[in-house]
């Protein structure tokens, strides 16, 4: 009994073919070096065209009218210190304020114990009537 060791030229074995990547890597490195050399050196200075000083000062802005809105702990809404008991009256106040030019600023100061629902109703009334200058004040009470 004999054994056949080694490649016997049977032709059924798969040939191992590998692509030589060394020349490809060499070409890529050459291209990378050429790219680095041809890129201009970046300067760290930022060039800005600043406007020339104007001899005429800008006109003084008119102080905006400020309306103090409040929502108390029991849901009472106040408009510049006056209690607003009816939502229709609040809607009317909001509509009048929205129609003024320039529109007054509304400073909403809800009590920290006020229900969110009542504050949301006031904000919704402002949105429905076109009030765009509204903001919260007194937020320091929530930091305690």
- Answer whether residue 48 is part of any domain: no
C-alpha to C-alpha distances, 128 to 24, 53, 70, 92, nearest whole angstrom: 68, 44, 18, 11
Measured distance CA(59)–CA(22) in Å, rounded: 72
In a domain, 51, yes or no: no
- Residue-wise pLDDT for 39-89, tens only, equals 877 666 677 777 788 778 777 777 888 999 999 999 999 999 999 989 999
Residue 121 belongs to domain with CATH number: 3.30.420.270
User: Contact at 8 Å (CB) between 133 and 100?
Assistant: no
What was the pLDDT predicted at 2?
56
Rg, the chain, Cα only: 39
Does 129 fall in a domain?
Answer: yes
**Residue ranges making up the domain that contains 125:** 66-139
Q: What pLDDT does residue 43 have?
A: 65
Total domains present in the chain: 1
DSSP 8-state code for residue 141: G
Q: Does the residue 36 lie in any domain?
A: no
Indicate yes or no: pTM above 0.75. no
More confident residue, 11 or 83: 83
On whether residue 84 sits in a domain, the answer given is yes
């Amino acid at each position: 009994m004999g054994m056949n060791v080694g490649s016997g030229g049977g032709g059924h074995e798969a040939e191992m073919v590998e692509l030589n990547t060394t020349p490809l890597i060499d070409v890529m490195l050459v291209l990378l070096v050429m790219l680095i050399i041809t890129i201009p050196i970046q300067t760290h200075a930022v060039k800005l065209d600043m406007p020339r000083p104007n001899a005429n000062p800008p006109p003084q802005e008119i102080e905006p009218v400020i309306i103090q809105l409040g929502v108390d702990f029991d849901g009472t809404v106040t408009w510049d210190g006056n209690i607003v008991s009816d939502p229709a009256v609040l809607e009317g106040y909001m509509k009048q304020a929205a129609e003024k030019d320039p529109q007054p600023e509304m400073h909403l100061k809800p009590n920290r114990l006020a229900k969110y629902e009542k504050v949301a109703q006031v904000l919704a009334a402002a949105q429905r009537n076109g009030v765009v200058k509204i903001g919260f004040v007194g937020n320091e009470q929530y930091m305690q």
